Chain A
Amino acid sequence: MIANYGYKDGSGEFYISIDTDKCTTCSEKGCLESCPGQIFEMMVDDWDDEVAAVKASERNKIKMTCAACKPTTGRPELLPCQAACKPRGITHSW
């Protein structure tokens, strides 16, 4: 399942997409520790699989929290959360 967490407001669209099918094959759960803003958590979904999610308290402010990893110049090819996610299950819309 592709879970999109985030929002759209007057300044744009800000979504983090997690391919939760990839979480079920991942043993490292690197996303949890790699994010400086600690926005990820593991949860048991409706089909009893343990998958990554963006914390409910963070979903409506990811533009601000993720800004620290998104410099206007010299942005890395992969953000820390994307690099730590070995199955490459995390994408950012902005």
Chain B
Amino acid sequence: MSENQQKEYWRWKEYNWKNPEIPDWKGGLVTAGVDVGSTSSQAVICVDGQLYAYASMRTGSDSPSSALNAINWAMEGTGLTLQDINFTVGTGYGRVNVPFANKAVTEIACHARGANFMYGPSVRTLLDMGGQDCKAIHCDDKGKVTSFLMNDKCAAGTGRGMEVFANLLAVSIEDVGDMSFNVETEPDPVSSTCVVFAKTEATGLLRAGWSKEKVLAAYCSAMASRVVSLLERNGMELDFAITGGIAKNPGVVKRIEKLLGVQALTPKYDTQIAGALGGALFAKALVEKSAKVAK
């Protein structure tokens, strides 16, 4: 097998982070959100509602292990143990399989809450572009969902679709967005209703002499038009923000902005952690609610 065939171009970087502005968690209310998605898992730890640490990694075949690996990596170097976390919310595709979670909350509610924290209370329309689904969400100034629409029928418009194209074209997933702008004229989009058909179409275009950049531009454009139709069905209201892994792909984000004629808000944090962050904030609210009831 050649080196090219062995390389997995779809693999994105896994990482963890600790907030240097919060030196110690002791004495604070420690809450966690664990988002076990179809493709990636994130764990976020908040201290008194402030982002303290997080980790983002690929989801394995076993959701409970993925959740545990993510929270352990987020706690690395903090001195925290699972027993020190006051309340944990599990969210995402595998939310019911987070063994140490106190409650499961849907990723739709968690993304809205997380986006409210990340982008501010002006966010009204949110697009979450996940690994295997895509959601258009409306929320109020407190991050509470007022309407949502989800598409998980096929991989078109999802991170997995982009991974398929990165592998097909032997382009690192992190370079796809920038490369897609290296075209003289914007090509027509490829099929936006099915990744399998889009891949077949792309193979034909490569054979017809299209450059990798042009094919990527056609696919980014297809993905943008696909998710814009979701947003339009749910209704657009400003401000607009994007979460999930695809929010890091400027090739898709810029094309969505162009089609909608609006600018997405600039994220203050990693867009992939929005769901887990929302979970940690939900956890804080739930602890405070139960404390009020106890009084």
Contact = CB atoms under 8 A, between A and B. Distances in A.
A2 B229 contact: no
Given A46-B105, A46-B106, A46-B109, A8 B229 contact: yes
Contact of B153 (A3, A4, A8, A47): A8
Nearest to A13: B233
A9 B233 contact: no
A47 B145 CA distance: 10
Contact of A9 (B109, B138, B153, B234): B153
Contacts of A5: 150
A3 B233 contact: no
A7 B146 contact: no
Main secondary structure of the interface of B (DSSP, over half): mixed
Nearest to A61: B153
A40 interface: no
A67 interface: no
Contact of B149 (A9, A15, A45, A47): A15
B129 interface: no
A68 interface: no
Given A1-B148, A4-B233, A10 B109 contact: no
Nearest to A11: B193
Contact of B145 (A1, A8, A15): A1
Interface residues of A, number: 17
Nearest to B147: A2
B265 interface: no
A34 B235 CA distance: 30
Interface string B136-179: 00100000111111111110000000000000000000000000
A60 interface: yes
A53 to B, nearest CB: 11
Contacts of B106: 45-46
- Find the residue from B105, B144, B147, B152 having the highest chain A CB count within 10 A: B147
B148 A3 contact: yes
B274 interface: no
A72 to B, nearest CB: 24
Nearest to B104: A46
Contact of B147 (A4, A7, A9, A10): A4
B206 interface: no
Interface in A5-39: 5, 7-10, 13, 15
B262 interface: no
A56 to B, nearest CB: 10
Given A15-B233, A46-B105, A10 B149 contact: no
Contact of A4 (B109, B144, B149, B229): B149
Contacts of A4: 147-150, 233-234
Contacts of A93: 233
Nearest to B226: A8
Given A4-B234, A13-B233, 10 more contacts: A1-B148, A5-B150, A7-B151, A8-B151, A8-B193, A9-B154, A9-B193, A46-B282, A47-B144, A60-B152
16 contacts: A1-B145, A1-B146, A2-B138, A3-B147, A3-B148, A4-B148, A4-B149, A4-B150, A4-B233, A8-B153, A8-B193, A9-B153, A9-B193, A15-B233, A46-B109, A46-B145
Interface of B: 105-106, 109, 138, 144-154, 193-194, 229-230, 233-234, 282
Interface of A: 1-5, 7-10, 13, 15, 45-47, 59-60, 93
